[in-house]
Amino acid sequence: MLRRLTVIAILGGLVMGCASPPSRFYTLTGSLPPAEQSRDIAISVGPVSIPSEVDRPQIVVNEGPYRVRLDETRRWAAPLQDAIAGVLVANLSALLGTTHVTQFPATAATDADYRIAIEVQTFESVPDSAATLVAVWRIRRTDGDKTVTGRTSVREPVSGADYDALAAAHSRALETLSRDIADALKDLYRR
């Protein structure tokens, strides 16, 4: 009996020693202060497309010009393209002073005055270095033929090797993208 308990204890210790570390989940956030209500316009954000190499739950870390690593224990809390769209919705709502900003394909998006499609071409993560975002976007007025196209390219420094700093840098990059889109929208609805 003692021998059996010893074997069970050793096997239990081996199983515990082989357990993988717990996963940590990260989010992107929009943290712009809300502007005064300025216009009663409706905006639909999406679809947002992202490169296939980062379209996964794991955070993809760039380790060189030709090599990436999937970090199995550090993951995005939501699908990355949904997280990006959600941050853009929050930021554009704050920047434009409207509460009528929805994420495609929400039902309210069918009544939008403007539709914004975003193609993220680069979404690179290098802890303790930089978060890089390159996106092409198109704003289309739904009741006419007015369209504006733009490109945003931003490299945000990461202040530390931890993934909180990396997620914060990506959030700041999305803030720059949001400002570029908001400025183009303001020009478009002045015409």
Which residue from 96, 149, 76 is spatially nearest to 119, judged by alpha carbons? 149
Query: Tens digit of pLDDT per residue, the chain (191 long)?
Result: 556 655 555 655 555 555 678 899 999 999 888 777 666 889 999 999 999 999 999 999 999 889 999 999 999 999 999 999 999 999 999 999 988 999 988 766 568 899 999 999 999 999 999 999 999 999 999 887 789 999 999 999 999 889 999 999 999 999 999 999 999 998 887 76
DSSP assigned state of 67: E
Give CA–CA dist 127/61, Å, rounded.
Answer: 8
Q: How many Cα neighbours within 13 Å face the side chain of 158?
A: 19
Mind listing the pLDDT tens digit for each residue in 61-87? 999 889 999 999 999 999 999 999 999
**CB neighbours of 116 closer than 8 A, spacing ≥ 6?**
43, 44, 45, 46, 88, 92, 137, 138, 139, 140, 181, 185
Give CA–CA dist 80/98, Å, rounded.
Answer: 25
Residue 16 pLDDT: 52
Give the CATH fold of the 24-190 domain: Rossmann fold (3.40.50)
Give CA–CA dist 72/89, Å, rounded.
Answer: 29
Pair 148, 139: CB distance under 8 Å: yes
Whole-prediction pTM: 0.86
For residue 107, give both structure tokens.
């039902």
Give CA–CA dist 90/35, Å, rounded.
Answer: 12
**CB neighbours of 109 closer than 8 A, spacing ≥ 6?**
44, 46, 102, 103, 115
Q: How far is CA 113 from CA 39, 85, 98, 141, in A?
A: 12, 18, 12, 6
